[in-house]
Amino acid sequence: MAVLCEAISVIVRRESIDAFYEGGWNVFLANVPNSTMCTDEELVRVGFMAPNEVKAFVESLESKGLVFQQPPKKFGLFKATRHLSDIAVVDARQGLTMPCEWAVFKRVPFGDTGVKVSVCWLAKGKAGETTLATPTGWQYENSLSYSHYEDSDIGTRVVFLRNENGLDVYKDLVTGKELYKPEDKPPTTH
């Protein structure tokens, strides 16, 4: 399986929550600050829109016993049984923000639309990208993934309409919105 990654996602190994998070799974759930959490039973994802929110959440995870990018010498005898980190951070457009040996990031087609969504799965986990875990109530048509596209989509999902006042105007065939692209900048929604 895989977990959806929109905006900025904090990814946590589920086994680390069970083994190292003070209070375990139920306390972790009580401390999740928003409704973006989803899990594929191997990874847990919580999403944020701002880097300062990510930082605060990662610090709260560390205060409860999880590790984010610490050197192996810190673990002493536990080095052989504990991963270098329990936490990864993923940007939906750029991928993993730091190298992480246990997480895989990829953009994969969603459903029959062919539009790609960002996902993450445990490197040595189950089937990878075949099933997608999403937050409760998540609907593609109302999501950040729905309005996201890449420059490679121009000509297929995003088509050129006209040039207006020095801006190229495109239409997103999925959302129906017009997009404006000034020179040297990616299109933005309007």
Identify the domain containing residue 49 by its residue range: 2-147
pLDDT at residue 183, as a whole number: 47
Reading the block at residue 149, the tokens are 């596209």
pLDDT one-digit tens code per residue, 85-103 = 999 999 998 899 999 999 9
**Could you tell me the pLDDT band of residue 110, with boundaries at 50, 70 and 90?**
confident
Tokens of 71: 């050197």
Question: Do 116 and 164 belong to one domain?
Answer: no
The reply to whether 35 and 55 lie within a common domain is yes
> In total, how many domains does the chain have?
2
- Please enumerate, as own/partner, the contacts of 58-66 that have beta carbons within 8 Å and a separation of 24 or more: 58/10, 58/87, 58/89, 60/31, 61/10, 61/12, 61/21, 61/86, 61/87, 62/87, 64/21, 64/22, 64/23, 64/27, 64/28, 64/31, 65/20, 65/21, 65/22, 66/12, 66/16, 66/17, 66/20, 66/21
Decide which of 152 and 34 is more confident.
34
Together in a domain, 163 and 118: no
pLDDT, residue 44, reads: 98
Do 19 and 93 have their domain in common? Answer: yes
pLDDT at position 109 is 84
Same domain, yes or no: 76 and 137: yes
Q: Is the pTM of this model over 0.85?
A: no
The residue-averaged pLDDT of 66-74 equals 69
Lowest pLDDT segment from 107-116, 135-144, 145-154 = 145-154
Residue-averaged pLDDT of the chain: 81
Co-location of 104 and 159 in the same domain: no
DSSP character at residue 97: S
How long, in residues, is the chain? 190
Q: How confident is the model at residue 43 (pLDDT cuts 50, 70, 90)?
A: very high
Bridge partners of 104, per DSSP, are 121
Q: Residues 37-41: what's their mean pLDDT?
A: 96
State whether 9 and 91 are in the same domain: yes
**pLDDT tens by residue, 140-166:** 676 666 555 555 555 566 777 888 777
Structure tokens at 85: 């980190």
